[in-house]
Amino acid sequence: MRRMYLEMFHQMNKQLGQVDAWLAATVTFAEAKKVDPNVFLAFRLAVDQFGFARQIQIACDTAKLGASRLTGKDAPSHTDTEATIAELQARVASVRSYLGDFTAADFADTATRVISQPRWEGKTMTGADYFMEHVVPNFFFHLSHVYAILRHYGVPLGKRDYLGALTQKLPA
Amino acid sequence: MRRMYLEMFHQMNKQLGQVDAWLAATVTFAEAKKVDPNVFLAFRLAVDQFGFARQIQIACDTAKLGASRLTGKDAPSHTDTEATIAELQARVASVRSYLGDFTAADFADTATRVISQPRWEGKTMTGADYFMEHVVPNFFFHLSHVYAILRHYGVPLGKRDYLGALTQKLPA
């Protein structure tokens, strides 16, 4: 089980690497259109949904705080003040570096940890439930919204940019 | 490990239950606006992205074919001909019923299975890699796009509708 936790956080790390590439594609796209790439930070799909920058911040925090709460290892703090694509890329890089440092042993007691968050008003979840019902669905939710906002505003991305390289064997 | 596979497909089953509720909310929303709820089936976020119905079909297929390929258990077939919200709900229900029948034992040799798909042109993945790099990210991608399309077109949903009920303990 501890291996599966580690592998899922490795997968999140990989997906954040894709976000970094999407951000680079966004800069290229905006420059070709002769607009400031940073206009993307405020874009959103619905007036009462979080915008692009916030979606990236929450995707980062879901992975970072998830790993921290499930292992007890302190996470780097970020202040949600990113105002440019470059600053968002720096945040992604910081979280990727943090996620890259875990080993399977760090998740030894993850399943039975008691997890809470301020907004839960004293309610708790087991580590196993928090991981499966909260961390994984939330991470991919915000990741997909980042992608969807870029696609909606014309940045040329495809499913391969979403998934990244697959570990495949060539035919024998 | 086999337990984690089972639990992830249980989570997908739960999320598809949320899709069923989103579809019901879509009907309510459309009726209040005095429009045909089935107009939603063609809505999309970008001209070269799949529309709403196709996003639901692929979310369903990713879960269904993922579970089938990873266990060797035959999956129900679906013809991608849904033309109404009610037919999409029936498809979701069919996949949920299929996913509900698995046990941990079904995933005993999942990690080492050799997985392929026609579009991979002979390339293969291990079950472990296919699950982590393909099934999980793809399922949540299409699930989140279903949600994002509804939010973009005004259906009143929030994060709680996305996550569903959490397994939480009340404070002692």
Inter-chain contacts counted by CB atoms under 8 A, chains A and B:
126
Position A99 confidence tier, pLDDT thresholds 50, 70, 90: very high
Instruction: Enumerate the domain spans of chain B.
Output: 2-163
Contacts of B4 in chain A (CB under 8 A): 1, 4
CA distance A161 to A147: 9
Q: Is the pLDDT of residue B66 over 80?
A: yes
Q: Is the pLDDT of residue A172 over 90?
A: no
pLDDT score recorded for residue B1: 73
Note the pLDDT tens digit of each residue in B109-121.
999 999 998 889 9
- State whether A123 and B45 contact (CB < 8 Å): no
pLDDT score recorded for residue B145: 98
pLDDT score recorded for residue B172: 75
Q: Is the pLDDT of residue B153 over 80?
A: yes
What residue in A sits closest to B9 (Cα-Cα)? A132
Residues B91-97: contacts with CB within 8 Å, 24+ apart?
A: B91/B56, B91/B57, B91/B60, B92/B16, B92/B19, B92/B20, B92/B23, B92/B56, B92/B60, B93/B20, B95/B16, B95/B60, B95/B63, B95/B64, B96/B13, B96/B16, B96/B17, B96/B20
Note the pLDDT tens digit of each residue in A63-89.
999 999 999 999 999 999 999 999 999
Q: Which residues contact B113 (CB under 8 A, 6 or more apart)?
A: B69, B70, B72, B126, B127
The fold of the B2-163 domain, in CATH, is Four Helix Bundle (Hemerythrin (Met), subunit A) (1.20.120)
Q: According to CATH, what is the number of the domain A2-162?
A: 1.20.120.450
- State whether B123 and A1 contact (CB < 8 Å): no
Q: Return the closest-CA partner of residue B87 out of B131, B137, B138, B52.
A: B52
pTM comes to 0.98
User: What Cα–Cα distance (Å) separates residue A115 from each residue in A64, A106, A122, B14, B119?
Assistant: 14, 16, 10, 21, 42
- State whether A126 and B167 contact (CB < 8 Å): yes
pLDDT, mean of residues B117-138: 96
- State whether A171 and B3 contact (CB < 8 Å): no
Bridge partners, residue A126, by sequence? A114
* Identity of the residue in B122, B134, B152 whose CB atom sits nearest the CB atom of A46: B152
Contacts of A144 in chain B (CB under 8 A): 140-141, 143-145, 148
pLDDT score recorded for residue A165: 97
Lowest mean pLDDT among B20-24, B87-91, B115-119, B150-154: B115-119
Question: A27 is written with which tokens?
Answer: 């800069």
Contacts of B168 in chain A (CB under 8 A): 120, 123-125
pLDDT score recorded for residue B144: 98
ipTM of the complex, rounded to two decimals = 0.97
